[in-house]
Structure 1
Amino acid sequence: MSTRNRGAGRGPAPRGAGACGFLVVLGVVALAGCQRGDAEVPAPREEAPVVLGPEDVVRVESRELQEGPVLSGTLQARRAATMRAEVQGAVLEMKVEQGQKVKKGQLLARIQDVSQQDQLLAARTAVRVARNAVRVARAEEQRNRQLANAGVITRRDLERAQLARAQAEAQLSEAQARLALSRQQVGRTRLVAPFNGVVSERHASAGDIVQPGTPLYTVIDPTSMRLEASVPAAQLSALKTGSGVDFTVGGYGDRSFQGRIERINPAVDPATGQVRLYVTLPNTEQALLTGLFAEGRVAALRREVPAIPVSAVDTRAEPATVLRVKDGKLERVPVTLGMTDEVQRLVELRSGAQAGDVLVRGSAQDLTEGTRVEVRPERPGESEPGVGGAGAPPEEPQQPQQPQPR
């Protein structure tokens, strides 16, 4: 049988059979590729929590709050004196420097006193001449009295002698007054300390020509400071002479100082509606310096209550709210507030949160409710009063990553 016949006996192959087989193969390959792709898609990750540092949280704790009128101002020495030149002349000597302690009567500076010394010498000479004249006049009066009693001279001659003695005594008094004035002028060329204190300013140098009234030194008594402050007249009911005042002074951190109201101005300033107060602050240790800014409060009311910083409260809504960390998430809680300590910037927490609760403060309050958070515990040396690092879950040590086999 020929080859043609064998082929013709099978009959012609269907035209679509090859195309269908190709499509089946492609479908199998595509299905296998999709299955592999689905296996490589990673599972969705859970969002990482926001890490809060100790400076972002605060724990509700019981604290002592004080309420009363707030005072502020610049410290001044309670006793201060500016020593000025009382005569004209050149400064011969400046004895002390700024910051040096002085005692009452100690010489501070000398001004040229040539003309004053000349006047003093002339005044002394005039006093001696006047004393001699008085001595002669008194002796003459005594002789004339004896002669008048004996009838040798008339009473008129005795009266003339008495008048001469009176005139001599008057001239002596005038000469003595001039001598005292000359001594005073010489003394004015020497500046002495008016009290025990410290030289705070030196305004001149040796060789300067000064006029009466030119400042030379400023001496202060650092053992007592004074603060002048004003409060609204509406708060006068909480003020009285002798009331204690607690102060903090710039440059001394949280260290507090105590003073007392010494005087209250009896008149209200019509322009501001405020009353002037004068508060004394003992400074026996001489730790305080003039010119420092002080802020204090009259301790009118003291209470120990649960309190938090003002920065932890959101007062934009009514009632006020706080963000509390609970079960690793933030929740917004309405709270009831009480007295406010303006100096410590603390507010009483009456309801809404309990003692020990950890609240968010500061810029962290911009987080939304429901945000997952993690409070980083405090590290040594960064502890802050009221910071809620305690109670936060400890940070787990990170294990070094092992290289994965390829």
Structure 2
Amino acid sequence: MLLLLGLGAWAEKAPAETSRPALTVSVQQVNFVDMERTLSATGNIRPWQDASVSVQTSGLRLKEVFADVGDIVQAGQLLAKFDDTIIRAEIEQTRAAIIQAQASLEQATQNAKRIRRIMGSGAVSQQEADQVLATEKINQAQLSSAQAALVGQEQRLAYTRLLAPYDGVVSAKSAVLGAVYNPGQELFHLIVQNKLQWEASVSSRHLSALEPGTKVLMHVREDLFAEGTVRQQSPALNEQTRQAIVYVDIVPGAQVKAGMFVQGDFKLGTRKVIAVPRQALVLRDGFYYVFVLENNNRVALRKIEIGQSLPNGVEVLAGLVSGEIIVVKGARFLEDGDMVRVALAASETAAGAGSVMSFARAGR
């Protein structure tokens, strides 16, 4: 009889032992938060516009260079100068030839006037008249030729001075003092207005979200960022990648250089999303789960689908609804169906907060 009573007493105590909480945990209510939507892309930083300053005359020695790589220049600023001694001598010679041609033309014009007055009177033969009139025309042509030559030589003289065509910064220089260049050879390369752009490759399905004026944050390096604004999209897609180039004007003063390859984020505004702390996530068999606290202080393992990373957690795309309570600290030590003890943190108890609890290991 005593043995049966003892077994009965043990049987009554056994369920109580199995229902003891496995852990003391902290919990948090699931709520909506504002999430900034972004679209990531990569691309090269290139000049908004380039300008080439090239040689426009031949046979002259480069005499002086006034600009170097990195110099900021203004439109019309003198960058280099060729030796113009020969051209100036040719100009003086041509001016003298013009004076001589003008004198010859004046004399020929006077002779032609006299011939025209007496033509038909028999005082002069037709052959003589034709010769005088032809001489006048020849002198007119010689004067015009000399004047045209002067214009060409003065233009060639202007070409001995290489001027900056636009405001900008010198990005490359190949000018060497004393060298003789052929027409068309580039001596300086400019980034017009020192203005850079980011050429981001974006999939066609995302292009509709990127309107002119969309803000962009480019990651130049770990501790350096550059801001920009979408200017326009390329009118055609790449046939191989099905991507388009989105052109982003970089804010002046950013510490970026042409030729960099960077990753950036397009800012697409904010939207309401459900978010959970990273500490609440449990990774099992390649999937993410959370423990949802039920009415009887038992937890249920719930599979979720996560989305974008947030500063204080992760976005939940599916598996949770706003208002549900999930386990935060201690989640990784639980199993589906465990009973837990929810305990307030001391500091939060004093403040009257009851939604976030402290974690302490308890025996089974």
| TM-score of Structure 1 vs Structure 2, range by shorter chain | 0.5 to 0.7
Query: Helix, strand or coil for the counterpart of 2:175?
Result: coil
Residue of structure 2 aligned with 1:106, choices 46, 58, 77:
77
d(CA) in 2 for partners of 1:236 and 1:301? 15
Could you list the per-position Cα deviations for residues 172-192 of structure 1 after superposition, in whole angstroms to 9, with x for gaps in the alignment? 222222222222333322211
8 A Cα contact 2:227 2:254, kept in partner: no
Query: Helix, strand or coil for the counterpart of 2:239?
Result: coil
8 A Cα contact 1:77 1:222, kept in partner: no
1:134 is matched by which residue type in structure 2? L
- The Cα shift of 1:89 comes to 4.2
d(CA) in 2 for partners of 1:311 and 1:94? 64
Residue of structure 2 aligned with 1:273, choices 233, 242, 245:
242
2:107 is matched by which residue type in structure 1? V
Matched, 1:122 2:93: yes
Q: Which has the higher contact order (CA 8 A, sep 6+)?
A: 2
d(CA) in 2 for partners of 1:222 and 1:140? 61
8 A Cα contact 1:223 1:286, kept in partner: no
Gap runs ≥5 in structure 1: 1-58, 325-330, 361-366, 372-390, 395-406
Residue of structure 1 aligned with 2:231, choices 261, 270, 279:
261
Aligned residues: 303
8 A Cα contact 2:290 2:327, kept in partner: no
Could you list the per-position Cα deviations for residues 271-319 of structure 1 after superposition, in whole angstroms to 9, with x for gaps in the alignment? 3333334333352x46554334443355556424345799997888576
Who is 1:295 aligned against? 263
8 A Cα contact 1:265 1:277, kept in partner: no
- The Cα shift of 1:259 comes to 1.5
* Aligned-residue RMSD, C-alpha: 4.7
Who is 1:43 aligned against? none
Who is 1:188 aligned against? 159
Indicate how the Cα distance of structure 1 residues 205 and 151 shifts in structure 2: closer, same or farther if over 3 A, else same: same
Could you list the per-position Cα deviations for residues 185-209 of structure 1 after superposition, in whole angstroms to 9, with x for gaps in the alignment? 3332221111122223333343445
Query: Helix, strand or coil for the counterpart of 1:258?
Result: strand
Residue of structure 1 aligned with 2:315, choices 348, 353, 375:
348
d(CA) in 1 for partners of 2:328 and 2:107? 102
8 A Cα contact 2:279 2:328, kept in partner: no
Who is 1:131 aligned against? 102
Who is 1:321 aligned against? 289
Indicate how the Cα distance of structure 1 residues 114 and 305 shifts in structure 2: closer, same or farther if over 3 A, else same: same
Indicate how the Cα distance of structure 1 residues 334 and 161 shifts in structure 2: closer, same or farther if over 3 A, else same: farther
- The Cα shift of 1:250 comes to 0.4
Alignment of 1:361-376 (within 5 A): 369-370=333-334
Indicate how the Cα distance of structure 1 residues 233 and 91 shifts in structure 2: closer, same or farther if over 3 A, else same: same
1:80 is matched by which residue type in structure 2? D
8 A Cα contact 2:166 2:193, kept in partner: no
d(CA) in 1 for partners of 2:277 and 2:132? 95
1:143 is matched by which residue type in structure 2? R
Who is 2:114 aligned against? 143
d(CA) in 2 for partners of 1:146 and 1:291? 78
d(CA) in 1 for partners of 2:66 and 2:123? 68
Who is 2:352 aligned against? none
Who is 1:335 aligned against? 304
Query: Helix, strand or coil for the counterpart of 1:250?
Result: strand
Residue of structure 2 aligned with 1:73, choices 43, 61, 64:
43
d(CA) in 2 for partners of 1:198 and 1:247? 24
Indicate how the Cα distance of structure 1 residues 157 and 146 shifts in structure 2: closer, same or farther if over 3 A, else same: same
d(CA) in 2 for partners of 1:308 and 1:73? 33
Who is 2:197 aligned against? 226
8 A Cα contact 1:130 1:171, kept in partner: yes
- The Cα shift of 1:110 comes to 1.7
Could you list the per-position Cα deviations for residues 364-389 of structure 1 after superposition, in whole angstroms to 9, with x for gaps in the alignment? xxx95449xxxxxxxxxxxxxxxxxx
d(CA) in 2 for partners of 1:185 and 1:132? 27
Identity of aligned residues (%): 23
